[in-house]
Amino acid sequence: MPDAASPIWHLPTLPEVLPWPKSYAVLGLPISHSLSPAIHQAAFAAVGWPGGYGRLEVDTAGLAAAVDRLKTIGFSGWNCTAPLKQEMYRLCQRRATSAIRLGSVNTVLHENGVLEGYNTDGRGWVLAVEEAFSVSLRDLRILFLGLGGAGAALARQASWEGCPLLLLANRTASKASSLAAELEQRSRITVVPWEKAALAEAAANADLIVSSVAEDPLFLQDPGFLDRLFGPKNFVLDLRYWPTKLPLLEAARERGARAANGLGMLLHQAALAFELWTSTPAPISVMREALVAVTSAGYRETPSR
C-alpha cells in the first residue's frame, strides 16, 4: 500500500523532465504532510494509470511561476490547498461551473497549455455529509462555525444545493455579513453573532453544525454551554481530521450528537479529481483503504490535504 512518501519539491528543485508519464502534484504551504499522494498513488495503481503524484511547496507569491514551470514540464494536472485556491482561480484560462460557484480552484486539468480549473471540495463535502449521516444535505438547516476559505466555500455550495436555512457565524462579523449579502438571493440566511447565547440559539435551529475553525473555540471549555449547543438531533462535522480526537467532536458525541471529521470530504474530493484527470471511475474502496492506512500510521504534525 502506498504511503504519504512522495517527492517534495520547491520551485528550484522541480524536475526538468516529467517524473512519470502522467505527472500530478498537490501545491500548498505547508505541504510536507499532505495525504493526497497516498490516495492518488493507490488509485493510479488500481486502474493501471501511468501516473505519479508529488508535492510542491509554494506560497501565493510564487504560484504563477510554479504554474508556468508545471506547464513547461508537461504536468497533466494538480491539486492545490491553502492558501492558493483563490489565486489558482485567477490563473486558469477556463473555469468549470464548480469553480465559478465557489470562487476558487482546488483541481486543475492541463491540456495543450490551457489550464481548466475545477473545485471538487463542494461536491466532495456533499457526498461526505450524506455518507456519514445517511441524509440528503439539501434537507438540512446548517450552522457554519467559521467562514474562512473552506467555510465560505461550503456555505456557497449549500446555497446552490438549496438547503432551507444557512446560519453564518464568524469571529469577524463583517465577513459573515458580506457572505450573507452574496447568498441571500438564493437562500434564507441568518447572521449569527460569535457569542454563546446567539450560537446556542442558532444550534437549536440547525440540523448540521459545520466547523472550519483552525483551533477549538474557547466555548468548548464551558460544559454548560456545550449542553445547549449539542444534542441528539444534531449532526456535527469538523473539517479537520487531526488530531484523531477532536474536542468539538468528542463534546458532540458525549451529548448524543452524530459526529464526523474531515476525512470523508478529503476522500471524496480526491475521487472527483481523479475522475477529472483520468475519465475513469474512481476506485473509492482502494482510495479509502489507502487513507485509512496512512492515517493509522500517525502524524506528529497536522496534515494538509
**Residue 108 maps to which CATH number?**
3.40.50.10860
Look over the chain and give the mean of its residue pLDDT values, rounded to a whole number: 93
Q: What's the confidence (pLDDT) of residue 298?
A: 63
Give the three cell numbers for residue 217. 473555540
| 131 and 215 housed in the same domain | yes
Kindly state the average pLDDT of the residues 243-254: 92
Q: What's the confidence (pLDDT) of residue 82?
A: 87
Q: What percent of the chain has pLDDT over 90?
A: 88
Kindly state the average pLDDT of the residues 211-238: 90
Residue entry with cell 502506498: 2
Helices marked H in 21-168 — which ranges? 36-47, 63-73, 85-91, 97-102, 121-133, 149-161
* Domain encompassing residue 136: 123-261
| 56 and 162 housed in the same domain | no
| 139 and 255 housed in the same domain | yes
What are the backbone dihedrals phi and psi of residue 45, each rounded to the nearest 5 degrees, phi first?
Answer: -65, -40
Q: What's the confidence (pLDDT) of residue 218?
A: 74
Total of domains in the chain: 2
Kindly state the average pLDDT of the residues 201-230: 90
> Angle at Cα 248 formed by Cα 245 and Cα 250, nearest 5°?
50
Q: Residue 301 pLDDT more than 90?
A: no
pLDDT in tens, 148-163: 999 999 999 999 999 9
Kindly state the average pLDDT of the residues 102-113: 97
Q: Residue 2 pLDDT more than 60?
A: no
| 128 and 257 housed in the same domain | yes
Distance CA 17, CA 141 (A): 50
Q: Residue 52 pLDDT more than 60?
A: yes
Give the three cell numbers for residue 239. 473539517
- Is 305 inside a domain boundary? no
Distance CA 108, CA 171 (A): 32
- Is 227 inside a domain boundary? yes
- Is 3 inside a domain boundary? no
Q: Do 228 and 120 form a contact (C-beta atoms < 8 A)?
A: no
CA 2 to mean position of chain CA atoms: 22
Q: Which residues are catalytic?
A: 85
Q: What is the CATH number of the domain that holds 227?
A: 3.40.50.720
Q: What's the confidence (pLDDT) of residue 214?
A: 82
Give the three cell numbers for residue 240. 479537520
Q: What's the confidence (pLDDT) of residue 196?
A: 93
| 110 and 185 housed in the same domain | no
